Amino acid sequence: MAEPAPLYLADLHTALGAKFVPFAGYAMPVHYRTGVMAEHLWCREQAGLFDVSHMGQVLLPADQAAGLERLVPVDVIDLPVGRQRYGVFTNDRGGVLDDLMIARRAGDLLLVVNAACTAGDIAHLARHLTGVAPVSHRALLALQGPLAERALARLLPDVAGMRFMDAAVMPWTGDELWIARSGYTGEDGFEISVHTTGARGLAQVLLDMDEVAPIGLGARDSLRLEAGLPLYGHDLGPDITPIEAGLGWAISRARRTGGARAGGYPGAGVLQAQAVRGAPRRRVGLRPQGRVPMRAGVPLFDAVAGGARIGHVTSGGFGPSVGGPISMGLIRADIPTDAPLYGEVRGKRLPAAQTPLPFQPQNCKR
């Protein structure tokens, strides 16, 4: 097995006391000296800085917008300059090959994809489009939390005028920063692509601010789980459709039945049928009773003994902001929304109540 690759800022993480774990082929900081719980709560209350340089960044020529639309159920053609949109690559069964962010800039499209899927996504794009240009020598930082705007605006005052899902290019100390007002925590914040030569300086000047602290992979996962955000490979995958995953909103109106450019992407027939008749499964929020977490893979049943297996947990852990274990699961769509469920943990079935998502209100700037 190959050794995990270090991030561009590995030396900084080490100096900050990071504990590293392998993730998607990289050595990722899972937490720093204060630990996951403290980092999670800090991000909910102030501003946390994440190094997400493992994510893939890809540029496409602007004239490939129509071609990209044939790979995603998203309105790319009408995406305005300076705006970003969430999308999914689908397969012929309507399943999700990856989820991604698509930003239209003045002369091109910028895609940000999941680390574990980057090579496959680039190959997928190259089979259908021209001018696919993987981005190298750029780090990606995420500044998240209610004080993120205040911190970043000290360096770049114009970020205060950005709305959720705005995308901009701004100069900073001779560098060009690619900034989107988005993130993966449910809090307000920004994702910042910076050349590797400027990454250490940008990270350090932010970390020197009183309201900013480094946050690792552990808190990133608990934050997104509380926000009800799906994780590819768990809540999304090639055998899970966007509609099953509760992402029907990610199919743009123009691409739906009756829309200006309906269908025309892989699995369109499956998803159009599910939009009308319903999907066979649905993603649900779960609050396990007691203190035992129900983690990914735990089977779900409709009775405390006997009964039928009706699904499984896709993500789960402890929610520091909600003060207890939380999970998301994929269950049969015909299960009543108020029916109690039971997760089998170490051979014992424990009750879990279905609950609306998200567990924690999202605080993005509109």
Read off the pLDDT of residues 252-277 as tens digits, 9 standing for 90 and up.
999 999 999 999 999 999 999 999 99
> pLDDT tens, 315-350?
999 999 999 999 999 999 999 999 999 999 999 999
- The predicted model gives 5-18 an average pLDDT of 96
Average pLDDT, the chain: 97
Any idea what the Cα angle at residue 54 is, between residues 49 and 60, rounded to 5°?
Answer: 110
- Amino acid letter at 205? V
Same domain, yes or no, for 319 and 185? no
pLDDT number for residue 9? 97
In this structure, the answer to whether residues 326 and 247 fall within a common structural domain is: no
Pair 210, 326 in one domain: no
Distance CA 341, CA 309 (A): 10
For residue 99, give the CATH number of its domain: 3.30.1360.120
Q: Which helix (H) or strand (E) holds 20?
A: strand 19-23
User: Which structure tokens are listed for 323?
Assistant: 């003060």
Strand, coil or helix: what is 324? strand
Domain shared by 253 and 116, yes or no: yes
pLDDT value at position 365? 82
pLDDT band with cut points at 50, 70 and 90 for residue 364: confident
Task: Determine the pLDDT at residue 1.
Answer: 54
pLDDT at 350: 97
Q: Quick one: pLDDT band at residue 140, thresholds 50, 70, 90?
A: very high
Q: Which domain holds residue 288?
A: 280-366
3-state secondary structure of 68: helix
User: What confidence score (pLDDT) does residue 323 get?
Assistant: 96
Q: Report how far residue 258's alpha carbon sits from residue 306's, in angstroms, rounded to the nearest whole number.
A: 45
How confident is the model over 13-26, as a mean pLDDT? Answer: 96
Sign of CA pseudo-dihedral 307, 313, 318, 323: negative
CA distance 78 to 336: 39
Mean pLDDT along residues 238-246: 98
For residues 264 and 357, state if they share a domain.
no
Cβ neighbour number for residue 54 with a 10 Å cutoff: 21
Q: Are both 94 and 227 inside the same structural domain?
A: yes
pLDDT score for 195: 97
Boundary (domain end) residue, out of 228, 257, 279:
279
d(CA 69, CA 76): 6
**Residue labelled with tokens 């779960």:** 286
Supply the Cα-derived Rg of the chain in whole angstroms. 21
Q: Is the pTM of this model over 0.85?
A: yes
Dist CA 365 CA 122 (whole Å): 31
Looking at the fold, whether 335 and 323 belong to one and the same domain comes out as yes
Residues 103 and 154 in one domain: yes
